[in-house]
Structure 1
Amino acid sequence: MTIALSKRKTAPSRRASRTRDVLGRWSFMIPATVLLVAVLAYPLLYTLQISFSSFDLSTFSPSAFVGLENYTKALGSERFQNSLVVTGVYLVLALPLQIVLGFAIAFLLNAEWRGRGVVRALFLIPMVVAPVVSGGIWKMLLDPLWGVVGWATSLVGLPPVNWFGDATMSMISVVIIDTWRSVPFVVLIASAALLALPKDVFEAAQVDGANWWQTLWRISLPMLAPIIAATFIVRWLGAVKMFDIILTTTNGGPGQATDVVNLYIYQQAFQLLRFSESSAMAVIVLVLTTVLTLVFLWGSKKLEDRV
């Protein structure tokens, strides 16, 4: 009888405890949710509204509804199409280089050798430098007349390279600068992933006589495949937003060689004051980025299931 009464008393108390826990969680979540909606959702919805209307510069507000007219103009613009192609070329050149180089450096830093901690700390420095500062520093270093890189190459008899004045070299320069900034981030993730790998698997492989190359291809990389895929997606989202470095180095030139889509949208909105068309372009880029990100996530999930 006493046990039955105690059970009846504890059941309501457990429900009350769960209710308090739920209310406690929501009390912490609601302020963050409201802030997130205010910072992200409102600008997104406002941009979407502008993209379907003509923007009145006298009042800085949407006026007449024009339907898909701004989207038609955006998709029919040769410069917008070119900016999408340039962005695609940049992504194809930069992302594989950054992932491969970052994981390769992480493997080297994971080995035991003197001075590894100092080198690892130095590798993190570019990651904390602002993109605008990085662009300014590299623009001085790569200047063909008085830059340090040009002076160093002249010592070995090489002619000066016009890093930012040639169409091909300007894209290579942007990729180099962004790789210098982004590889430390990849190294950081890869190093943490390597430290989390089970040691007994590698010890068993060593006992079985596997060399370094076999261990890398048959054990390390398959186990790191989900991390590599996740790192690629994170870097993809960061690389799509490329803007600061190009603005401070090439400003989209020479010609339209480095005119990435974010820079073009910025120029249309804040230099030519075409807010409606630029908003439509931003929505198109957002949709493309979301679709490709979902495809990458689906592919990484399939890869993780296979591993």
Structure 2
Amino acid sequence: MKLGSEISSAGRFVRQPNRFTARIEQGGEHPPEPGRYHLYASYACPWAHRSLIVRELLGLQDVVGVTIVDPIRDEKGWRVPGGDPVTGVEYLSELYLATDPGYEGRHTVPCVWDVTAGRLVTNDYPQITLTLESAFAPWHAEGAPDLYPSSLREEIDALNEVIFDGLNNGVYRAGFATSQGAYDEAVTAVFATLDLLEERLARRAHLHGDALTESDVRLYPTLARFDAVYHSHFKCSVRRLVDYPALWAYARRLYALPAFRDTTDFDQIKRHYFVTQRNVNPSGIVPRGPEIDWTAP
């Protein structure tokens, strides 16, 4: 992983900004249209996982295409097994460089390619799910959930920031820390956030009440990876997800939904982190376990 520029002098991991942030919106340069946009994602990556969940929850499979990259990155980055049927590329980096030949950052998933314009529109992962929920609303399946209702947007946005800072990105700040102080700071925030969410979910079915929202989609990928990867690989070992009764029950309720279960591939998740991130796991050995029953009632 090219993390050198993302580690501060104090040993803190500082995530690179998203390079492509154009919007898909009516009246803009990239208007929403069925078949025009193609999503590049990985079952291993939590940021991409949320876009796959939303695409299925909203029934957009025939509206926005998808290419799944190989979970093991090499020195060229994310590889497209067998070549991409839409663009013909073998590596995701080719799409980044075709759009910006001078780009030098990491080539990240998820990202969205505009087939008509022949360029990447966005790798702005927080915005991609919001775009699927709003700009593509005319093509949502009948009965699809409203994941970003106008009446709750302020509350959703505020909680999303807490989840991102303390947990989604917090586990990375713990795992990639190169100083004891940076690690201690990050891991303390991880478990403070889990404690807060445990208390919140002890009295409600979902993060904002009875209905599924964008906040639930953003939290789930981190929970799905916590005991399998983050607990050991990223040294987030104070407690496990299964030690939190409300969070563990909540995570299993979400996993029982096809959009969550069918996009959760524990084998790809483990192989990606333990094999690819040699800065954390130099041997590349993938551990066995943990044996956890996600289908338990």
Greater relative contact order (Cα < 8 A, sep 6+): 1
Alignment TM-score, normalising by the size of structure 2: 0.28
The answer to which structure has the higher helix fraction is 1
Alignment TM-score, normalising by the size of structure 1: 0.27
